[in-house]
Structure 1
Amino acid sequence: MIKKPWHRWITLAVISISGGISFDLAYLRYIYQIPMAKFMGFSNTEIGLIMSTFGIAAIVLYAPSGIIADKFSHRKTMTFAMIATGLLGLVMTTYPPLWVMLTIQIAFAVTTILLLWSVSIKAASLLGDHDEQGKIMGWMEGLRGVGVMLLAVFTMWVFSLFAPDNANSLKAVILIYSGVYILLGILCWFLISDQVATTESGQQSPTKRFSLNDILSVLKLSTTWYCSMIICGVYTIYAILSYSTNYLAEIYGMTLVAASYMGIVINKIFRAACGPLGGLFTVYSRWRSPTRVIQLLSVIAIVTLALLLVVTHRPLSLALAMGLILLLAFTCYASRGLYFACIGEARTPTHIMGTTVGVCSVIGFLPDVFVYPLVGHWQDTLPAAEAYRNMWIMGLIAIGAVILFTALLCNNMKKMRYHSATAH
């Protein structure tokens, strides 16, 4: 069946928003830690345990999520995952005891990571051919950010309508998220096709069945490791940027209110805007290559990080430091919108694309494991200037790795194009 372009973009919006907001109940602490402690009766330590339970389960499930994406129906899997996540949210509204909350967090990891993560990325990727991956993945990241931002603002408004001591305020927030998840699950059923790549012209490309032996094929591909290291380097910068408000407050004396607004600009507005911008750079640059655009952004990032090292050693101007951090955030979020496009651009076979996404996610998101404890240790044991100097140096090493592995991936793709041309 030939699908119209508008249908393709509506499908991308549903896939992207589903993938973006599906984590919000698992990460409820990020906005509602105080209400969770007050109304659900958990201590801060218990809330931390709830979060780490999801994080550990997620790391374990990234790789098998790729196999799910390659072996099972995207339509059925995403529909089930979103509706199940919504139903788990309904259980949360009962304010259950700790052991039930821990069980819910593990179940959230199953629905959002195992059943949704790689499936949503592959389903979006299949909406276009390898030349369109930058555009599609850029818009996917942007639409995720828009969905997260709009729903967060709406639920905060609803929360504010209740009296401060009204326990129903947090229940209302959880109910809204649950209802939206279930609605998106229904939309997934009607919009998503099963593992068939569709291009602008409406052509569909045949797919080969996935087998377990293909896992070895994924691990043997050099492009899998190149893409993994590109994601890891960019994600390290993403993790480091979470400390930018602390940096501005401690080194430059920015007020906490101003630092909070800066955090909203970086984490909400830039996330929504920079992903699509990265995709547009890919479409309109002379290379039309997500990998090349990430490489260019990384060169800008490495210069920015070098300047941040200088202004950390000799603080000059708060406005200059803010400008450098915003420039670094732009390069990071634009690259985040493109790094999964590298997998499609490298002409990874469709039947193993999900597994490749899973493997790349395990390696690429390892900074979640080491960046936060390491930077936290530096903050606790070193003078502020030295702690942040170490942090920017870690960023320089990470971006250096991105430049190296984008070069290797570009060289690999150049060889593939040459062999393909000579074969014909």
Structure 2
Amino acid sequence: MTKEQNFKKWFTYVILVLGAGSIYKLPFLKSVFYGQMQEFMGLSHTEIGTLMSINGLITTFGFGAAVYFTDKVSKKKSLPLSLILTGVLGLYMAFFFPGYKQLMVIWVLFGFTCDMMYWPVLLKSIKSLGDDSEQGRLFGFLETGRGLVDTIVVSIGLFIFTYFGSTINSFKSSIIYFSVVVIAIGIISYFCLEDDKISTSSSKKNGEKLDYRAALKMPELWMIAFNAFSVYSIYCGLTYFMPFLKDIYKMPLTLVSVYGIINAYGLKMLGGPIGGIMADKKFKSPTKYLKYSFLAIGISLLGFMFLPHESINIYVGIILTLLIGTMIFSQRAIFFAPVGEINLPEEISGSAMAMAMASFVGYAPGMFLYSIYGGILDNFPGMTGYKLIFLSMVIFAGIGFTLSSILMKKIQKKKAEDTVIA
């Protein structure tokens, strides 16, 4: 690779990271402003969870629909447009501060702009920047870069909120700020990203249909998809560490928001490279790393459930939850990387189809788990509700460990067969 090609590769990577680190600030407003959404928007745990689940429903089916257009629309058009439309929705929310029913419509539209139009194209673009030996690092450092951008953007948003008095108007100002940032990055992306070479030939279209059928028949791809499902199910529970510390440890609302920045965004900078480096360098396999990290997360959460939280120092609770969160983010960074281990035919792995299919299943928990978790907390107040959420996360860790173990055996068997043939 020449110096010019290398520069172009990493320049594109930086632009993609900027977009990935800014677009989800609005649909995931609860990651930092969970308490503010309850106080100023009048939303319950169940209603916040329902907003996220509605968004997740559109997201899940959006990934399926994305199979048909992701390879046919250039990232130069799709990525900037989705960023700008997301920002426009945020401005509407800030200026009109709509009620719960209108918020549901906005979160539905976030599902289209962020996940159907943006995310599958981003995954395809990141994957295309390196060969199979680089996938763990490319996806791992994507999470690191997103974490850095996230932390900067959200920290300024929280500063705006506190500087202007922590009122409903300062909350609106923070939303406006997030909206302007994502629109600005959308405009920058349009002028900086290059056009993809899009094939519109009939043979290509026929090939896509055959690729889709072939992908559906691959058990390894389904295992990767449901492995991602397990990771994302655990990740959904990570949100509830915030109200857990507020309700059980009596953490002040502003400190909860600061914790939310670290928990949701800062940990990406730590967990991302841990996942990428451990998968590529230590375990020599993303699947193998996922297997043992599922085991570590399950054991950690199981022990965490039975600690005497009411009598534990608040900083101990913060440290323990952040350690668990780091492990979860290390998984999220590489949960699609095993696609590079299963020797997909080039016509499948070279398109966005494998990623869209894995994303369709992998992000499915978002369409129901937030609503379920929120309902648990509203119906089982206090420590009982949180223990039920933690237990659910343990169960998903067990499922992920089992799937990773089976997939690991299939990969090893395939490698042994290839060695014999060679």
- TM-score in terms of structure 1 length: 0.80
Aligned length: 409
| Aligned counterparts of 2:413 and 2:134: Cα–Cα separation in 1 | 20
TM-aligned CA distance change 1:87 to 1:376, over 3 Å: closer
Task: Decide whether the 8 Å contact of 1:68 with 1:114 is kept in 2.
Answer: no
Q: What's the CA shift string for 1:38-80, capped at 9, x where partnerless?
A: 99xx7658x8687665444223212222333333333332233
Task: Decide whether the 8 Å contact of 1:279 with 1:337 is kept in 2.
Answer: yes
TM-aligned CA distance change 1:262 to 1:83, over 3 Å: closer
Provide the secondary structure at the position in 1 that maps to 2:353.
Answer: helix
Task: Decide whether the 8 Å contact of 1:89 with 1:175 is kept in 2.
Answer: no
TM-aligned CA distance change 1:377 to 1:415, over 3 Å: same
C-alpha RMSD over aligned residues: 3.9
Q: What are the residue-to-residue correspondences of 1:131-280 with 2, within 5 Å?
A: 131-158=133-160, 170=172, 173-174=175-176, 177-178=179-180, 180-192=182-194, 194=196, 210-248=207-245, 250=247, 253-256=249-252, 260-280=257-277
User: For 2:298, which of 302, 306, 311 is the aligned residue?
Assistant: 302
Once the 2 structures are TM-superposed, how far is the Cα of residue 89 of structure 1 from its aligned partner? 5.0
Which residue in the other structure is 2:64 paired with?
63
| Aligned counterparts of 1:303 and 1:35: Cα–Cα separation in 2 | 33
Which residue in the other structure is 1:120 paired with?
122
Task: Decide whether the 8 Å contact of 1:304 with 1:324 is kept in 2.
Answer: no
Which residue in the other structure is 1:333 paired with?
329
Which residue in the other structure is 1:379 paired with?
377
Provide the secondary structure at the position in 1 that maps to 2:307.
Answer: helix
Amino acid at match of 2:412: K
Once the 2 structures are TM-superposed, how far is the Cα of residue 25 of structure 1 from its aligned partner? 3.1
TM-aligned CA distance change 1:361 to 1:191, over 3 Å: same
- Larger CA deviation: 76-85 vs 166-175: 166-175
- Larger CA deviation: 137-146 vs 84-93: 84-93
Q: What are the residue-to-residue correspondences of 1:313-352 with 2, within 5 Å?
A: 321-349=317-345, 351-352=347-348
Which residue in the other structure is 2:406 paired with?
408
Gaps of at least 5 residues in structure 1 are 197-207
TM-aligned CA distance change 1:320 to 1:177, over 3 Å: closer
| Aligned counterparts of 1:325 and 1:355: Cα–Cα separation in 2 | 36
Once the 2 structures are TM-superposed, how far is the Cα of residue 117 of structure 1 from its aligned partner? 1.0
Provide the secondary structure at the position in 2 that maps to 1:24.
Answer: coil
Once the 2 structures are TM-superposed, how far is the Cα of residue 27 of structure 1 from its aligned partner? 4.1
Amino acid at match of 1:272: M
TM-aligned CA distance change 1:289 to 1:382, over 3 Å: same
Task: Decide whether the 8 Å contact of 1:14 with 1:184 is kept in 2.
Answer: no
Which residue in the other structure is 1:74 paired with?
75
Task: Decide whether the 8 Å contact of 2:52 with 2:371 is kept in 1.
Answer: no
Provide the secondary structure at the position in 1 that maps to 2:118.
Answer: helix
TM-aligned CA distance change 1:168 to 1:319, over 3 Å: closer
Once the 2 structures are TM-superposed, how far is the Cα of residue 94 of structure 1 from its aligned partner? 5.6
| Aligned counterparts of 1:318 and 1:94: Cα–Cα separation in 2 | 37
Provide the secondary structure at the position in 2 that maps to 1:212.
Answer: helix
Once the 2 structures are TM-superposed, how far is the Cα of residue 4 of structure 1 from its aligned partner? 3.6
| Aligned counterparts of 2:363 and 2:396: Cα–Cα separation in 1 | 13
TM-aligned CA distance change 1:384 to 1:67, over 3 Å: same
Amino acid at match of 1:222: P
TM-aligned CA distance change 1:347 to 1:80, over 3 Å: farther
Amino acid at match of 1:365: Y
Gaps of at least 5 residues in structure 2 are 199-203
Pairing 1:291–2:287 present: yes
| Aligned counterparts of 1:92 and 1:313: Cα–Cα separation in 2 | 37
Higher relative contact order (CA 8 A, sep 6+): 2
Amino acid at match of 2:216: L
Q: What's the CA shift string for 1:76-134, capped at 9, x where partnerless?
A: 32233334444555666663877987665544433222211111011101111111111
Provide the secondary structure at the position in 1 that maps to 2:13.
Answer: helix
Amino acid at match of 2:278: F
Which residue in the other structure is 1:199 paired with?
none
Q: What are the residue-to-residue correspondences of 1:25-40 with 2, within 5 Å?
A: 25-28=26-29
Task: Decide whether the 8 Å contact of 1:79 with 1:189 is kept in 2.
Answer: no
Once the 2 structures are TM-superposed, how far is the Cα of residue 395 of structure 1 from its aligned partner? 1.9
- Larger CA deviation: 23-32 vs 13-22: 23-32
| Aligned counterparts of 1:309 and 1:372: Cα–Cα separation in 2 | 20
Once the 2 structures are TM-superposed, how far is the Cα of residue 276 of structure 1 from its aligned partner? 1.8
- Larger CA deviation: 358-367 vs 110-119: 358-367
